[in-house]
Amino acid sequence: MPQPLDDRDERDPRRWLILAICCMSLFIVGLDATVVNVALPAIRSDLHASVAQLQWTIDAYTLTLAALLMLSGSTADRLGRARVFQIGLVLFTLGSLLCSIAPNAQLLIAFRVVQAIGGSMLNPVAMSIIRNTFTDPRERAQAIGIWGGVIGISMAFGPIVGGLLVEAVGWRAIFWINVPVGIAAVLLTARFVPESKAARARRLDPIGQALVIVLLVSLTYGIIEAPSSGWTSGKSVALFATAAVALVALIVHELRHREPLIDVRFFRSAPFSGATAIAVATFAALGGFLFLNSLYLQEARHFSPLHAGLWMVPMAAMTLVFGPISGRLVGRLGARPSLVLGGAGILLGGLLLTDLNETTSFLHLLVGYGLFGIGFGFVNPPITNTAVSGMPADQAGVAAAVASTSRQVGSSLGVAVLGAIAVPASAVAAPGQIVSAGHLGWWVIAACGAIVLVLGLATTSRWARGTASRTAALLREQPVGA
C-alpha cells in the first residue's frame, strides 16, 4: 500500500504524479463525450440504430453520471478515496471494452451505463484526492488549474481522435483507446496513491438517490420517446407525471432528512439557483451542438468522420483559449462579465447557425462554431464560483457537486430535446430534411445562450448577493432536518 504523503514535504514529487494519474481519469471521461458524438453516424449505420437509440447512447452515459456523482463522492469519503477511484477505473475500463464488442444498440446503451457508473467514481473522487494531496494553497490552485485545463484538451482532442479512429478502424476503436489508459491508471493508483477518508463522512440518502434516478430517467425517457409515441399519449403523460411526482417527493423528503443528498434550502440563494440553471442551459446547448453537428456534417454535408471531427476543433480550441481568460476575469471582476460574455457568445453562435443549408460556406461555419466555443469557454469557469458564492465553507463542496451534476443533467436534456425536435426519425432522411429539421434546434441553442445572459445579470446583482447571505445565515443557524 502506498505510504501517506508527508504534509511537511511540499517537494515530494509524488504529489505531481498523483495529479497526473487523476488527470488521466478526467481525460478519458472527457474524451468520451466528444469521441462518441463523432461516431454516431457510423453507429447508426452499423447497428441500424434509431434516432432514439443514438440519443440513449449519449444520455445513458450522462444521466448515470448525473445521478451518481454525489453518491460516489460521499461513498469515497466513507470507504476510502483511492479504493473507490480504483473501482471506478476498473468499471470504466470494463464498460469501454464491452462497448467495443456490443452486437446491437440495446447492449451498447447498457454497456454505456456500466461505463458511466465507473466514470461517476472518477472525477469527483479525483478532485477530493487532489485537495487532500496538495495542502499548500498556492500549489493546490496550480493543481486545480491544470486539472481544469485537461477538460479543454480532452474536448479538443476528442473529435480528431474519434474521426481518425472511426475512419481508419471503425467506431468500435473509440472505446478501445480507454482500455490501456484505464489499466495503466489502475496500476499507478495502486502503486502511488495513498488511501484517505473524510474525518466525518456524510450519511447515505438512499431514498433521495432513488428519487433523483426516477426523476431524471422518466423525464429524459419521456422526451426521447414522445416523438414516436406522441406527446399526449398515455405513455408520455405517464412518464412526465412520474417525473413530476418524483420531484415533489424529492423536495419533501430532502427537507425532512437530517443529511440529505441535496439540501433544497440552497435554492433560496439566487446565485446558487442561477448557477444551477446556467449549468443546465449551457451544457444543454453543448450537448445539442455536438449531437446536431455530427449528423449535419456527416449525413447532410457527407464529410468523412475525420473531416467532421476537424470541424469541431474551432469550438474546442476557443474553449481551451478563453476558459483560462474567463478564470482570471472571475478572479479580478467577479462572475458577471464572464457570464454575460459567455451567454452572448452562445446566443450569437446559435443565431448564426439557424440558417444552415447544404452549401453553407466554410467561413460561416467557422465563425458560428468559434463564437459558440468562445461563449462556452467564458461560461464554464464561473458556474461553480457562482454556485458557492456566499455559502458557508462547510457547504461549499456540496454546492459545487450540485453544479457538476447540473452540467450532466443539461447535457442529457440537450441531446434528448434536440434529438426529439430537430432530427428526422428516418435513418434514410434526405440531406435537405436533416438540414431543415435542425433549424429549430439551433434556435433552441440560441435561446439557451439568452437564458445564460439574462441569468448572468440577475444572479450577480446586489439583490442576488443578499439572498445568498440570508441563505448562508439560515444554513448556519438551522441544521438540516431541524
* Three-state secondary structure of 136-185: CHHHHHHHHHHHHHHHHHHHHHHHHHHHHHHHHCCCCHHHHCHHHHHHHH
| Whether residue 34 is found in the same domain as residue 80 | yes
- 3-class secondary structure, 362: helix
In a domain, 261, yes or no: no
In a domain, 139, yes or no: yes
Q: What pLDDT is attached to residue 197?
A: 76
Considering 176, 202, 228, which residue would you say is the last residue of a domain? 202
In a domain, 262, yes or no: no
| Whether residue 40 is found in the same domain as residue 74 | yes
Report the domain count for the chain.
3
Write down the H helix ranges in 203-304.
206-229, 234-256, 270-295
Tens digits of residue pLDDT in 352-402:
999 888 888 999 999 999 999 999 989 877 887 777 666 665 566 667 677
Residue 316 in grid coordinates: 474546442
| Whether residue 448 is found in the same domain as residue 380 | yes
| Whether residue 473 is found in the same domain as residue 338 | yes
Q: What is the pTM of this model?
A: 0.82
Residue 93 in grid coordinates: 475500463
Q: For residues 209 and 69, what is the distance between their CA atoms, to the nearest angstrom?
A: 10
Query: Is 315 in contact with 37 (CB distance < 8 Å)?
Result: no
| Whether residue 236 is found in the same domain as residue 370 | no
Q: What pLDDT is attached to residue 172?
A: 94
In a domain, 1, yes or no: no
Q: What pLDDT is attached to residue 183?
A: 93
Query: Is 156 in contact with 316 (CB distance < 8 Å)?
Result: yes
Q: For residues 463 and 466, what is the distance between their CA atoms, to the nearest angstrom?
A: 5
Q: What pLDDT is attached to residue 320?
A: 79
Residue 480 in grid coordinates: 438540516
State which H helix or E strand residue 267 sits in: none
What CATH number does the domain containing 34 carry?
Answer: 1.20.1250.20
| Whether residue 133 is found in the same domain as residue 251 | no
| Whether residue 187 is found in the same domain as residue 224 | no
Q: What pLDDT is attached to residue 92?
A: 94
In a domain, 6, yes or no: no
Residue 142 in grid coordinates: 496550480
Phi, psi angle pair for 463, to nearest 5°? -60, -45
Q: What pLDDT is attached to residue 437?
A: 76
Q: What pLDDT is attached to residue 141?
A: 63
Q: What pLDDT is attached to residue 456?
A: 92
| Whether residue 183 is found in the same domain as residue 237 | no
State the number of CA atoms in the 13 A half-sphere of 131 facing the CB: 11
Q: For residues 322 and 324, what is the distance between their CA atoms, to the nearest angstrom?
A: 6
Q: What pLDDT is attached to residue 298?
A: 87
| Whether residue 49 is found in the same domain as residue 22 | yes
| Whether residue 193 is found in the same domain as residue 294 | no
Closest listed residue to residue 219, CA positions, set 197, 193, 245, 201: 245
The residues near 311 (Cβ < 8 Å, ≥ 6 apart) are 159, 293, 297, 303, 365, 369
Quote the domain boundaries for residue 245: 206-256
Tens digits of residue pLDDT in 334-346:
889 999 999 999 9
| Whether residue 57 is found in the same domain as residue 189 | yes
Q: For residues 401 and 67, what is the distance between their CA atoms, to the nearest angstrom?
A: 11
In a domain, 216, yes or no: yes
Q: Each residue's pLDDT tens digit in the chain (482 positions)?
A: 565 555 545 566 778 888 888 888 878 887 876 788 888 889 998 999 888 888 889 888 888 888 888 788 778 877 888 899 999 999 999 999 999 999 999 999 999 999 999 988 887 788 778 777 877 767 776 776 676 667 667 766 777 888 889 888 999 999 998 999 899 999 998 888 888 776 666 677 888 888 988 998 898 888 888 877 888 888 889 999 999 999 999 999 888 877 787 778 888 888 888 888 999 999 899 888 988 888 888 888 889 888 888 888 888 888 878 888 887 888 788 889 999 999 999 999 999 999 888 888 999 999 999 999 999 989 877 887 777 666 665 566 667 677 778 888 888 888 888 888 877 655 556 666 778 878 889 999 999 999 999 999 998 888 988 888 888 788 777 655 45
Q: For residues 108 and 9, what is the distance between their CA atoms, to the nearest angstrom?
A: 47
| Whether residue 385 is found in the same domain as residue 431 | yes
Q: Sign of dihedral through CA atoms 44, 49, 54, 58? A: negative
In a domain, 2, yes or no: no
In a domain, 3, yes or no: no
